[in-house]
Structures are given as structure tokens and as C-alpha cells.
Copies of this chain bind each other. A is one copy, B any other.
Amino acid sequence: MKISTRGHYGVMAMLDLALHHGEGPIPLKSVAERQNLSEHYLEQLIAVLRKAGLVKSVRGAQGGYTLAREPHEIKIGEIIRVLEGPIAPVECVNEEDPECCLRADYCVTRNLWEKVKASIEEVLDNTTLEDLVREAEKARQAGGYMYYI
């Protein structure tokens, strides 16, 4: 019952961009340094996020990445789906492949996995980058340090 580092790091990187939203393109190197992630690995992840239309890139010197939409318009669920695939605790509740569970109508445990899926989506689709930015600002005012993992 885990997400991989792809989704985990992806959210970290997107939050980093959100925290610098409006400051022009942010080079990936600086994101990687702040978040303590491998730059090369992040490159792979951000390429996926770019192709999915979640970030925009500016090439060349002084280039970097920016969010493609406002932070309040980007749900964490989107980021996770782009990097991890559909949120489905077991294959048979993956609605992108409805044929995978032929006995869906009669299956008892499937209902359970549907509930789990719905409860995860409830959280991830009702949290946006802006929500996290606000929390980070609250934490900064209160504590001083600010990390995001």
C-alpha cells in the first residue's frame, strides 16, 4: 500500500514550484538541491509532468520550469495519477480498464476496494498545491524551518 518515489518526489517538486510561483522559470537544479533529490531522476519525472501539461518549460540559460496553471487549480490527485497511473488499490477497480474484472457485479471484496479507492481520491482530489503552500507558510511563521518531503 505504497506510492513510489515517483509520486512522492513529484509532489515535492510541484510544491517547490508552487512556493516559487510568479518568480519566473525555476531551474530544476535548484529544486533538486532544496528538496535533496537527484537532479537527473527529477528530470525524468518533470518530463512526464510537462507532457501531461502540468508544468511549462523554458529552455536555455535562465530557463527552468513553471506551473502551467495556478496552484489552486492543480490537485495533488492529478500529480499522482500522472506519475503513478490510476489510483486503484487492485486492478479490478481501475476504471480505465473496465474489462479487467468481468465478475464485477457479483464480487464482494471488489466493493471494499472501491471504498478504499474512493477514500484515497477524496483526500488527494480535495487538496491543491495552494493548500500545501498555505500550510507551508503557516509552518514557517510558527516554526522557522520549512521542509517538504
How many copies, total? 2
Q: Which listed segment binds B: A38-46, A47-55, A60-68, A115-123?
A: A115-123
Per-residue interface assignment for chain A, residues 1 to 33, with 1 indicating a CB less than 8 Å from any chain B CB and 0 otherwise: 111000110011001000000000000000000
Residue of B nearest to A103 (CB): B147
Query: Can you give 5 A-B contacts (C-beta < 8 A)?
Result: A101-B149, A103-B147, A107-B149, A111-B135, A119-B123
Complex CA distance for A146 and B7, rounded to whole angstroms: 37
Per-residue interface assignment for chain A, residues 74 to 106, with 1 indicating a CB less than 8 Å from any chain B CB and 0 otherwise: 001000100010011111100000000101011
Tell me if A127 counts as interface (CB < 8 A to partner B): yes
Choose one: B3, B115, B136, B147; the contact of A90 (CB below 8 Å): B3
Q: Which of A7, A108, A127 has the most CB of B within 10 A?
A: A108
Q: Is the CB of A12 within 8 A of B109?
A: yes
A137, chain B: closest CB distance, angstroms: 9
**Main DSSP-derived SS at the A contact region:** helix
Residues of B within 8 A of A112 (CB): 11, 76, 123-124, 127, 132
Q: Is the CB of A124 within 8 A of B132?
A: no
Residues of B within 8 A of A123 (CB): 112, 115-116, 119
